Amino acid sequence: MGRSWSASLLIGAMVSGLLLAGYHFTSIFIRAAVEMEGFFLQAFVLPGEGDLWFSLPVQYGYFTVMAFLSAWVCLEQHRVFGKLVYMAGAVFLTVLLSPILAFCGVLFEPLSGAGAIVLAGLAGTFYGGTASIQRARRLQRYFVGRVSTEKFQQLVENKEAVDLCQRKELTVLNCSILNFPDLSSQMEAAELEKMGSFFLRAAAEFLVGRGAYLDNCNAQGLRVFFGLIEKGDDHAVEGCRAALELRLRLVNLEQEILSRWHRKAVFGVALSTGETSVGLFGFREFQFYSAVGEPVDFCRRLSGVNLVYGSQVLMGARTYLMTKDHMEARPMEMVYAPRMHHISEVYELLAEKGKLSEDEARARDEFWHGVVSLRKGTFGEALQHFKLAQMEGREDAPLKYFLERAEAGLKDSDAGKGKGTEGVAGHLRILTTN
């Protein structure tokens, strides 16, 4: 749309300048106006007496507007037949406008207006048939509004053909209001709609601005892809960076929702990386560009696990492996997703590499040792590490969760109810399918 407006303005300005020069340096249009006045005075009984009123600014304004409008219509209209119908209809109405205005005492010369319509229409048709414009039209259905304007222009200007059907590794980011079902029972439908739309718009605009492809945006939350269009393997790092900044924005968003709707929204963000099948799915107006595969399904399920730990951003094992040199993280539990046939470790994303303070880095290391000890079933050792991971004046919901797990394990072990060791199976969380 932006390129069409720019081209329309340029074509309209050139055509208007040409017609303006015709008015000032030739007598074609003035002579046509005089001849039409004579014809109207002889052929019709017009109101008033004397000559018809003629205004050059009116003529200039009309052919200028029609030049811009015709260029834009012929740029936006895909079918040649539609462009010809528009130009023929616009010329006919312009010619018809002349006798109508004559009965109102106004002399209107239609030649310049018709010339503006035809010249601008032909120029718009020619420009609209260029390769870049044709490419933009093919791609805008699938990408306009889902990627940033800059990224869409890069797609259009890229000389290589865009492969819309392929196997590709990418990073999925899912963000949602985790307590949205509870809020739906506490709020009026109209207010719930406003609140949900407010969150979706803020999160979607931010993530699209950070280079993501907006795949889904509805009441269940939003899903974006990093690396869907671009080449390279830095999609996981870019996704994590966007997630960290989104986490800060969600804190402000939570306060604004609390202020406006007097409800506390609980947000959850998840990242998952893996190979997917990318292509066009659906038919006719329901066709859309997307990716399907285990990472997409896993990310959707993982987002809800934030409620269990009280965490904000979780990521899968593949995402962690691809970003461990760039990001700070700490392990959570092992998870199993039905129908995915594998067990995967989950991590909490903390910060970019080197951004943790000494105390934060020490607490992260103690937490890590505590999780390892908990999996071994050495609950006393795990409890000691988790206590050392506590930071004064800071709430840490995931740490509290694992502290309680260690205390419960130690209590059961002392009471003789446990075997003293749980292993991975004792800390395996099954992700729900809903």
Tokens of 263: 């409800």
Shared domain for 418 and 326, answered yes or no, is: no
Q: Average pLDDT for residues 127-141, to the nearest whole number?
A: 67
Comparison of pLDDT for 285 and 185, the residue scoring more: 185
Shared domain for 115 and 186, answered yes or no, is: no
57 domain-assigned: yes
308 domain-assigned: yes
* pLDDT level of residue 70 (50, 70, 90 thresholds): very high
Shared domain for 322 and 403, answered yes or no, is: no
pLDDT value of position 421: 46
157 domain-assigned: no
* pLDDT level of residue 338 (50, 70, 90 thresholds): low
Shared domain for 293 and 402, answered yes or no, is: no
300 domain-assigned: yes
Shared domain for 33 and 124, answered yes or no, is: yes
388 domain-assigned: yes
Q: How many CA atoms lie within 13 A of 2 on its CB side?
A: 8
Q: Which of 139-143, 244-248, 418-422 has the highest mean pLDDT?
A: 244-248
156 domain-assigned: no
**CA-CA-CA-CA dihedral for 362, 363, 364, 366, to nearest 10:** 90
Neighbouring residues of 422: CB distance < 8 A, sequence distance ≥ 6:
374, 375, 376, 377, 409
pLDDT at 420 over 50: no
Shared domain for 106 and 168, answered yes or no, is: no
Q: Domain span at residue 43? A: 2-129
Residue 55 phi/psi, 5° resolution?
-130, 120
Comparison of pLDDT for 398 and 3, the residue scoring more: 398
- When the pLDDT of each residue in the chain is averaged and rounded to a whole number, the result is 87
Helix 56-76 vs helix 2-25: crossing angle, to nearest 10: 150
Q: Average pLDDT for residues 155-161, to the nearest whole number?
A: 68
Q: Does the pTM exceed 0.75?
A: no
Tokens of 146: 């889902």
Q: Average pLDDT for residues 221-244, to the nearest whole number?
A: 93
Q: Average pLDDT for residues 324-337, to the nearest whole number?
A: 90
pLDDT at 76 over 50: yes
Pure H helices in 280-396? 294-304, 306-309, 317-323, 358-376, 379-388
pLDDT value of position 431: 64
Shared domain for 417 and 321, answered yes or no, is: no
Shared domain for 239 and 91, answered yes or no, is: no
From 307, 332, 354, the end of a domain falls on: 354
Q: Average pLDDT for residues 160-189, to the nearest whole number?
A: 88
Shared domain for 399 and 271, answered yes or no, is: no
Number of domains in the chain: 3
